[in-house]
Structure 1
Amino acid sequence: MKLLSSIIASSIFVLGTFIYSVEAKEGPAIIDYESIHHPVVAKHGMVASQQHIASDVGVNILKRGGNAVDAAVATGLALAVVLPRAGNLGGGGFMLVHLKEQGKTIAIDYREVAPIAAHRNLFLDSDGNVDKQKARFSRLSAGVPGTVAGLYLAQQQYGTMDWAEVIQPAIQLAEEGFVVNWDLANQLERRSSYMKKIPATAKVFFKEGGDPYETGDLLKQKDLATTLKLLQKEGAKAFYQGKIAKLIVADMKKNGGIITTEDLANYKPVIRKPLTGQYRDHTVVTMPPASSGGVHLIQMLNVLEHFPVADLGVNTADSINVMSEAMKYAYADRSKHLGDTNFYDVPLDWLMSKKYAETIAKKVTIGEITPSTEINAGTAPKYESPDTTHFSVVDQWGNAVSNTYTLNFSYGSGIVAEGTGILLNNEMDDFSAKPGTPNAYGLIGGEANAIEAGKRPLSSMTPAMVFKDGQLKLVTGSPGGSRIITTVLQMVVNFVDHGMNVAEATHTPRFHHQWLPDRVFVEPAINKDTRELLKQRGYELYDSRTMGSTQSIQIEDYIYGSSDPRRPNAKAAGY
């Protein structure tokens, strides 16, 4: 009861701050006031996702006896229908699966891969400059999708229900429709000038005549329903070798894309060993490359171990100072050392070592800053959209899933493959189209992340789990492009160092530094006095819209869920 009282009190305290923050930057948020004042507490199972309909789908699967993986896959498939800006069948992502009875956690990498015809100069014009239109808003920008293969693999190997049963809720949502909320209507209106130009996209997301859907309208997606029914009947084979594959390839051939029948047939998700780090008295388990997030989450935590973070306080000038400096060094290393380990020898052990963290910590002094121009990637010893989405699941047996997946931008490239209802990703922009040139998120990349056929582009997605004494305590993750890594970092620090419960950790204001540009991005709720102190120390501050949308679950005597109010319609649901 003490924990529950603390959650309620903390939620009431921060509520006004974040309502202002979301409304000021993104319009009137649809916030679940009930869940903020009275966070969801469950005994048997919990699903936290960015869309309340999808969360309810997942919980219903748990109630029917499905495990965390069944519920996660059902949630992911439902999000492909009800959260089209980020939920997807045409993208890719990362999943952590904790299997309580077996005492192990596995990582499923279903990131997109570059098509066979891709090459390092794919997006360069005749002058050698990056053609942003090609890299972000054309069929060339699509990597071979991995979501269907990843979700199918997870459910078949680690789920307990029939695949047909798990996919059925998504089919019903696509076929029978769901009520358009303010957020979806607003997002489509904002992108209408571009998306309406693409006939297959306009057919799905706009009414006949091109009128936008309004709040309260019913959105049915017939082509997507047909696609889902094919998947229900034939499994992932329908997407990679069957009718869906033929439709995607036909769309590519017709419109200058390069994904082929061979590309789709060859796609395979990969089961990997997750990365593990020790932070104070907790163990952090997270995603290996092609995620850069996991490596640098552990790297930054290793650096912070050298500082009395708890004593520095929450979002004080000193704590932001120390954490921002740690962030700079991590993102500098990201620019040089991170890429697909099948193509580049990423020095993982060194980057995550306590010894390397100690050398960085010695360069950080509380009250002082090092300009980013004076920070370079370390020398190893020889030998992402803001509209990604995350969901977390815990079941009654203690199994858990932390899943982050994406199309890259909101609605990916904005292009629907004709006849499928599937939005195509634009993940090829996550490669370094030209080493040293920033991508859409301002991230610098080098040779390690250059475009190459069959290669997975580097991603900031950072699904994570935190354990103590061998017991799972926190499941978390977030969307947010380049800010995903620092958002997850702050969740872990809030939880471990500051002793916050899941609601407090979720609602606390956030900040971000990514080395270049040399500025601290701060949410509106970072207080004025702290801002002034940071400026006096030499930081350039940049007022940012809200960062991330964490979907987190804490496991104690009961299961406690918190969905981030920074984006509307999220919900933690349990039973």
Structure 2
Amino acid sequence: MYMNYAVASSHPLSTFVGNEILKDGGNAYDAAIATSAALVVVQPHLNGLGGDFFSTIIDNDIYSINGSGNAPELATIEFFHRNGYNKIPEHGPLSSFSIPGLVSSWEILYKNATMKLEKLFSRAISFAMDGFIPSNSILKAIKNFKYGDVDFNNIYYNNGRLLVQRALGRTLKLLAEKGLESFYHGDIARAIEDDMIKKHGLIRFNDLDSYSASVVKPLEIRYRNYSVYTNPPVSQGATALYWLNRLNKYDLYSMPDDLYYSSLINEMYPSYEFRKSMIYDGSSISNDDLLNNYSYSKNKKDEKYSDTTAFSVFDGDAGISAIQSNYMGFGSGHSIHGYGINMNNRGSYFTLDKNHKNALKPGKKTFHTLMSTILNGDKLILLGSMGGDIQPQVNVQIITRIIDLNYNIQDAISYPRFAYPASIYGDADLYSEKGIVSGSKYIDGLSSTMGHAQGILIEDDVHAGFDPRGDGLLKYHL
């Protein structure tokens, strides 16, 4: 059956919600907000109202949204050193200081929406208030998460068959009634400040009141006969563009598998050196920068994974690739009392080394792993993936399989992948599923450590792809 619209997300309920909005006459912006809000509820172990958001959008123009947070006034290197810390904690109130950008990003999307927030949030509110059947990945994440405060634990450790998040549902209802701006300038902002003070966190009302997500021009390169767009710094998206630029000199189509993988991996290492050197708050990357050579040298091992959730929406005209996250799973474990807002721990990616490009400073944004991708050529492709530091790798592997090897989007997403989970502070081992890369560490089957990708490919028909490593292919009945 011919389709002229689609939603691809990492959970069937959020995909259903977005498609329902499109079926009811909403546009891509409506569906993106509804899908995003549903993901906050049905995948709390991957994202939340207290998290970040990035997207790249194509309609009459093409632009990106940067919904990452900056450090507040109280978050200084001196503060942490004075309190006996040599590095920023990864969990707890002292990790939850990066200003949440998701809701402010919704404000930008909502300018082009056609439906009321009450309609767009209705399903998410219902899932939160009435509950839904949690996936095995959520149950496993709850069982393994040991960093929650009392408010977090009261939400996630007192459920039966259904996962109920009534405080979160009330907050979504309040946002629909009072407006999205209330998160930063109204009662919700005051509640966040009160909770931060009680739990010795660092965000204050003025930090929220002065924050806004921003619309920015995406970076662009040509790969084969496609224009590839992604978010500029502080997003790591330029890593994938730099890598694809280097791959332009290879005829990947004619290569046997072992040479295909070695070509990708050989060009990956200098691409990650580019990432270390060029992506930070204040960086301005030009097309010339994407053509420079960066040499690779081994550094200390420092493997980093994080959990995010990506989705794509196409309404027949406009396309949106988006991604949102609380960084490490549930984030900091700091939940705002009475509001069910799980705060991110993205600020823990900062370093306390004042000489490093990613050193903590009030008002500064940390290097960010989130990225969204759009390719426009013979086909239009909307693509995104969770996976923290490996997101460029997931994107490049899927893109080359579609463009160079002629895979359809579902098979390209499902195919076994390799991963090199190095952070900007060090290197890592190389892993691969089913031993597809010689000399890598073997991972049996398909693994969440390889990221969860979702995407939409538009040509004569509209095709959605969902990652079997995640929840996107689960069966749900409403």
Q: TM-score, normalised by structure 1?
A: 0.77
Residues 444-485 of structure 1: CA deviation (Å, up to 9, x unaligned)? xx732211111221112221011115xx52111100011111
CA drift at 1:245: 0.9
CA contact (8 A) 1:140 1:256 kept: no
Matching of residue 555 in structure 1 with residue 458 in structure 2: yes
CA distance in 2, matches of 1:105, 1:389: 22
CA drift at 1:124: 4.4
Q: SS of the residue aligned with 2:287?
A: helix
Q: SS of the residue aligned with 1:348?
A: coil
Matched to 2:265, the amino acid is S
Select 2:152's aligned residue among 201, 210, 215. Answer: 201
Cα distance, 1:512–1:220 mapped onto 2, change above 3 Å = closer
Q: SS of the residue aligned with 1:432?
A: coil
Residues 347-369 of structure 1: CA deviation (Å, up to 9, x unaligned)? 4333213xx2xx46xx8xxxxxx
Partner of 2:91: 136
CA distance in 2, matches of 1:340, 1:509: 34
Task: Map 1:282-293 onto structure 2 (within 5 A).
Answer: 282-292=226-236
Residues 87-113 of structure 1: CA deviation (Å, up to 9, x unaligned)? 3111012011211xx2x1111111111
Cα distance, 1:281–1:572 mapped onto 2, change above 3 Å = farther
Partner of 2:362: 453
Matching of residue 423 in structure 1 with residue 423 in structure 2: no
CA drift at 1:150: 0.5
CA distance in 2, matches of 1:220, 1:373: 45
CA drift at 1:77: 0.5
Matching of residue 301 in structure 1 with residue 244 in structure 2: yes
CA drift at 1:183: 2.5
CA contact (8 A) 2:435 2:441 kept: no
Partner of 2:137: 183
Partner of 1:487: 394
Matching of residue 433 in structure 1 with residue 336 in structure 2: no
Matching of residue 114 in structure 1 with residue 57 in structure 2: no
CA distance in 2, matches of 1:311, 1:572: 38
CA contact (8 A) 2:107 2:181 kept: no
Matched to 2:86, the amino acid is N
CA contact (8 A) 2:350 2:359 kept: yes
Cα distance, 1:373–1:142 mapped onto 2, change above 3 Å = closer
Matching of residue 82 in structure 1 with residue 42 in structure 2: yes
Partner of 1:158: 112
CA distance in 2, matches of 1:90, 1:124: 26
CA drift at 1:152: 2.0
CA contact (8 A) 2:12 2:471 kept: no
CA distance in 2, matches of 1:321, 1:434: 35
Largest Rg, 1 or 2: 1
Residues 141-195 of structure 1: CA deviation (Å, up to 9, x unaligned)? 331111011012212x22222223212221222122212332222221222x433
Q: SS of the residue aligned with 1:452?
A: coil
Partner of 2:221: 277
Cα distance, 1:570–1:413 mapped onto 2, change above 3 Å = farther
Partner of 1:312: 255
Matched to 2:106, the amino acid is L
Structure 2 gaps of 5+ residues are none
Matched to 1:174, the amino acid is A
Residues 191-216 of structure 1: CA deviation (Å, up to 9, x unaligned)? 2x433xx2111221121xxxxx45xx
Q: SS of the residue aligned with 1:465?
A: strand
CA distance in 2, matches of 1:484, 1:50: 15
CA distance in 2, matches of 1:478, 1:73: 18
CA distance in 2, matches of 1:550, 1:121: 39
Partner of 1:37: none
Partner of 1:49: 9
CA contact (8 A) 1:337 1:448 kept: no
Matching of residue 395 in structure 1 with residue 315 in structure 2: yes
Count of residues in correspondence between the two structures:
467
CA distance in 2, matches of 1:518, 1:389: 23
Partner of 1:250: 194
Residues 218-262 of structure 1: CA deviation (Å, up to 9, x unaligned)? 222221121111100121221111111111101100111110010
CA distance in 1, matches of 2:82, 2:329: 25
Matched to 1:406, the amino acid is S
Select 1:564's aligned residue among 463, 467, 471. Answer: 467
CA contact (8 A) 2:435 2:443 kept: no
Q: SS of the residue aligned with 1:151?
A: helix
Q: SS of the residue aligned with 1:322?
A: helix
Matching of residue 97 in structure 1 with residue 42 in structure 2: no
Matched to 2:471, the amino acid is P
Select 2:325's aligned residue among 397, 400, 406. Answer: 406
CA drift at 1:116: 1.5
Partner of 2:385: 478
Cα distance, 1:126–1:223 mapped onto 2, change above 3 Å = closer
Structure 1 gaps of 5+ residues are 1-40, 208-212, 364-369, 375-383, 436-445
Partner of 1:496: 403
Partner of 1:147: 102
Matched to 1:349, the amino acid is N
CA contact (8 A) 2:28 2:313 kept: yes
Q: SS of the residue aligned with 2:91?
A: helix
Q: Percent identity?
A: 28
CA distance in 2, matches of 1:479, 1:126: 33
Per residue, is there more helix in 1 or in 2? 1
CA distance in 1, matches of 2:94, 2:185: 20
Residues 414-449 of structure 1: CA deviation (Å, up to 9, x unaligned)? 2211111110100101223337xxxxxxxxxx7322
CA distance in 1, matches of 2:7, 2:138: 21
Q: SS of the residue aligned with 1:298?
A: helix
Partner of 1:67: 27
CA contact (8 A) 2:8 2:466 kept: yes
Partner of 1:32: none
CA distance in 1, matches of 2:163, 2:116: 28
Select 2:278's aligned residue among 337, 346, 360. Answer: 337
CA drift at 1:571: 6.5
CA distance in 2, matches of 1:559, 1:326: 32
CA contact (8 A) 1:464 1:476 kept: yes
Partner of 1:33: none
